[in-house]
A and B are shown apart, each in its own frame.
Chain A
Amino acid sequence: MTETTGRNMRYLAIKLLELLATLLLVSFLTFAAFSIIPGDAAGIMLGPNASPEQIARLRTELGLDKPVIVQYINWLGGAFTGNLGTSVAYKLPVISLIAERLPVTIGMSVIATVMVIVISYPLAILSARKPGRIGDQVCSFLGHVLFAVPPFVLSLLLIIFTAKFLNIFTVGRYAPPSKDPGMFIGSLILPSFAIALPKIAMTFKFMRSAIIEQNNSEYVKTAKSHGLGNIKILMTHVLPNSNVSSITILSLVLSDILGGSLIVEQVFNLPGLGRLLLSAIARRDFPLLSGMVFYLALITVVLYFAADILAGLADPRIRLK
């Protein structure tokens, strides 16, 4: 027992070190990418009418006259303390701009993830019970097709569908969560569904294969021969063993959902990070852009590592890979 705990601790330590190294590299890549971009940040901020003196003054203010490595350390310090400087376009702290948008993006991601789990798992379990049956085949076929539809196309089709037939057109009916939580969640349902559908298809496919694989394994067959009930086998043997793959798949799904929300919110005119990103891109607002890129990457890195660690703890064989 102690040996296992020791191994787990060691595994955890290695993983955390890796996480730290990756985070440093990610931060450096973000910083470097925005440093090599042609054009002087101060010049861009002040616009074409600025005098050289004004630009020089701003350069000093922003610390752009310091060596690159000092700039990086300053930026990194800022990134981890929540101070990413001031947006050029909006003249507001980057962190507050991001914080203002976060509810939509996080809300959509959470709702979409819940949909993925709630819809794909039961379908996969049902489908895997008797593979090859017509129900299974219909689900599998639908899964394949939905997998191939870009979320923004799905959004458009959903809008047409809901506008024409259900008359519950949701575009634009947005309220901040603090004002009207009901409307906030309601406005995110349809877009979340559009992002979730292809991921439901993907998760369904993986879970179905994983469960079928487990069903064909020796110990499940043994359990069956000992007269254990189907549901009991499912709960005690099949699902725990397929957890590893479901953790991995969910981490992939989450990062895709995050990326997908950036585009889909445009279709529904929702004020999330995607709109801010596009606006930052259009206005060459590099402090804002680098801040957003870094934080979105941060979320993804942490997700990946959390999934990795969980999977590793659940199944020691994974660690060897």
Chain B
Amino acid sequence: MKTKKSSLSAAFFITGLILLGIVVLAFLISIVHTPYDPNLTDVTAKLQAPSSAHLFGTDNFGRDVFSRVLSASKYTIFISFAGVFIAAFLGILTGLPAGYFGGFKDRAIMLFNNSIMCFPGILLALVAVAVFGASMFNVVWALGLVFAPTFARVIRTGTLEIKERDYITQAKVMGASPVRIMTSHILPNLMPQLLPATVIGLANMTLFESGMSYLGLGVQPPDASFGKMLADAQAYMTGAPWLIIFPALMLILYILGLYFISEGLRITLSGGDN
């Protein structure tokens, strides 16, 4: 039973890493070199089907879709990681004291948290970006804010459990300040909760970001993002399906990779699954 469980989790984990690896590799390549400037238009090469010159074909501006896909993976990875960082930071900032102190502070923080979670996430993100202007950085912090309550909830639950442990009581007796106990004793032990939340957060954020970019409220043209590329491709999708297929595929690979990794983590960390 034990081995079956661990082999299943390993299978998920490895598949996830491979899928994610493809997108990360694209990101790394895009930093070093792209075959063409992703934003450079070329009148003579409009809407060309995939060929050896243009692996993924070209769009209606004659831009190289392969280069744009590489470049888009950069934004996708950046936005999801930066967003998760902000969300985790805010989640720790609110969830840790809520769980540690309990009582009124806990109730107040969690009521606030739950209230924010009542707004459909995408709605909140869209409105935030709309009001402060559509740009990549506004998307990052809007997503960070939207996902912060999820992290706060996870952190609080973890803290509630950890604070009962002996070494925490010991530290209290030794006169350690609450801040010190929270940062150096509880926080490091929250990894089993924080890690899956982070991975799933990355995936969900990418789902949101691509949707926002599709609506034109994410990464701004001429820069490429998967969502925006799909939106631009819509007018040409019957004649030039490669404009849809490659960005969609990369987007799905990234999210799927993250889901598989989180699934692997979940099986390893939790009681398991059939």
Contact = CB atoms under 8 A, between A and B. Distances in A.
- Please tell me whether chains A and B touch each other in their complex, using a CB distance cut-off of 8 A: yes
Interface of A: 21-22, 25-26, 29, 33, 37, 131-132, 144-145, 147-153, 156-157, 159-160, 163-164, 209, 212, 255-256, 258-260, 262-263, 266-267, 277-278, 281-282, 284, 289, 293, 296-297, 300-301, 304
B120 A281 contact: no
A150 B207 contact: yes
Contact of A293 (B127, B248, B273): B127
B112 to A, nearest CB: 7
B237 A156 contact: yes
A268 to B, nearest CB: 11
Chain B interface main SS type? helix
Contacts of B256: 144-145, 148
Of listed A150, A256, A296, residue having the most chain B CB within 10 A: A150
A156 B210 CA distance: 13
A150 B238 contact: no
B64 interface: no
Contacts of A144: 256, 259-260, 263
Contact of B120 (A21, A22, A147, A297): A297
B116 interface: yes
Given A153-B210, A277-B123, A281-B127, A209 B238 contact: no
B46 to A, nearest CB: 21
Contacts, number: 113
B120 A259 contact: yes
- Interface pairs A-B: 9 shortest CB-CB: A281-B130, A148-B256, A259-B120, A25-B115, A259-B122, A148-B255, A301-B118, A297-B119, A263-B211
Chain A interface main SS type? helix
Nearest to B130: A281
Contacts of A301: 118
A157 B249 CA distance: 11
B152 interface: no
A260 B122 CA distance: 8
